Structure 1
Amino acid sequence: MWGSPSDRLLGVALLAACAAVGWLGAVLVRTRRRHRRTLEDRRWLLERERESAARAAVEDERARIARELHDIVSHNVALMVVQAGAAREVLLTMPDEASAALRAVEDAGRDTMTELRHLLGLLAPSQNGEDADGDRGGGTGLSPQPGLDRLGSLVDRIAFAGLPVDVRIAGEPRPLPGGVDVTAYRIVQEALTNALKHGDGGQAQVTVRYADRSLRVEVLNSGPSVLSGASSRPAATAEHDGGAGRGLLGLRERVAVYGGDLDTRRRLGGGYRVRARIPLDRL
């Protein structure tokens, strides 16, 4: 009935082979389905990661723009307010001094417009490659970001506004990475602006130290002693009182980008100290 033993063995072998092929086919189908699901999950995760990275980049850029706008506007507007007040005080009695103060207001306003035009030009360059004044690339319309090479003009403006500043350079000055150069300048600018706005007379001292592996910047300003019970609110008191302190918070973020640290505190002898260290061996 079943034929010879060899035929029966052949039939069993064919049935086993067919079963094996069917099982392998089912395994292959399941494997391909799992692979497709894995790919879909991976695409979904990558898409979420791209969206998260894009949101983080947008937030970082917004924070950077906010810092730049604060540094530009706060400093120059503070100078304009001080100079306008000085001009009003001496307008009738000392017209020459009033005229000089008003020229300082004009210069500060012009500097503000120049730096804002530069910032906005970087954010949204025109289609034809021209800036807001119509200057082509390489023209004078977009000035470079300020660095320590412009420290002299900054100190002159602050001193003319009524805060004498002594500048000390330690070590051998050398070219710095662009971001570090701008950060160092902004530290001095913010500290001196705060000293001018919140200080009660006195003077300031700026020290820039070029160490082997780091750049150190320190700004000291004098004022009433914290032991005397005076109620002055020198630079960055708002930050320690829990206020927003956007200026110094922005500086702290700038310095942290390069692995540095920023220390701000009152001085027992009076006034305030802003000290920053930016490592250069990591760049």
Structure 2
Amino acid sequence: MNERPASSLPGIPAALVLIVIVLLTGMGVLSQVTPGGNPAVAGAVVLIPIFAFLAKGFFQVQPNQGQVMQLFGKYAGTERREGLRWTNPFYSRRPVSLRVRNFESSRLKVNDNDGNPIEIAAIVVWQVVDTAEAVFCVDDYENFVQIQSESALRQMAQSYAYDAHDDSKPSLRSHGDEINNHLRQEVEARLTKAGVQVIESRISHLAYAQEIAQAMLQRQQASAIVAARERIVEGAVGMVAMALDQLRAQGVVELDEERKAAMVSNLLVVLCGDRSTQPVVNAGSLYN
């Protein structure tokens, strides 16, 4: 079932016309009253029920709101035009907000792709775009958004590891844009049938579960230390090679293979050590 425009009239002109009709009808009724009757009572008995019934057709449409109308249970259309409107008094109406809304899920405890328990939460920005589907295709579209968003979040979290051991694979912690796009697609696929459009979705909380948080923190620290050492060794080797090349190119000193190995060893100790080195001045010859 898709949304379609409802038939209604502008409220103020309709109110003026209604007043004129009621007055003319009242004057006609009063002219037919017998001389022995009470004109005021007779007019009130006729006019008040008619006016009350026709007045039921007036309703207001606020900005970014739709009024879903039904006629004896049948969908009659949705009115989105703002202001005072008038329609068939037999129509029943239900307001549906078209404003942009936020939903923040609770912190869910799930297992990532590596089987590690994690805590994750997300924020979903959504908006009703089809009032007919939102009202008639699901029982409670607001509750539907909440449940399906959390279901999509669980499904997405199980597809990735919390932290990537290989840079070629995306992870929850390092590939934020890709993860948010995947989450948006998962949520939107579930909410389309409810007439809801997902504007944005993003991770708002991500952490290891408490029972493994300390162990994972130690592993992350160890991985960071290893990665830093790799960069240090890579830079040190380049600096040693550059030093040897410049010594040879400028003819500063000629070193045999044994002396080169000793020099390389000393430079690597100096460059790769985590403590400051103490220089030793050799007062003798190069070989003493």
Shorter chain as normaliser: what TM range?
under 0.3
Structure with more helix by fraction: 1
Larger Rg, first or second structure (1 or 2)? 2
Q: TM-score, normalised by structure 1?
A: 0.23
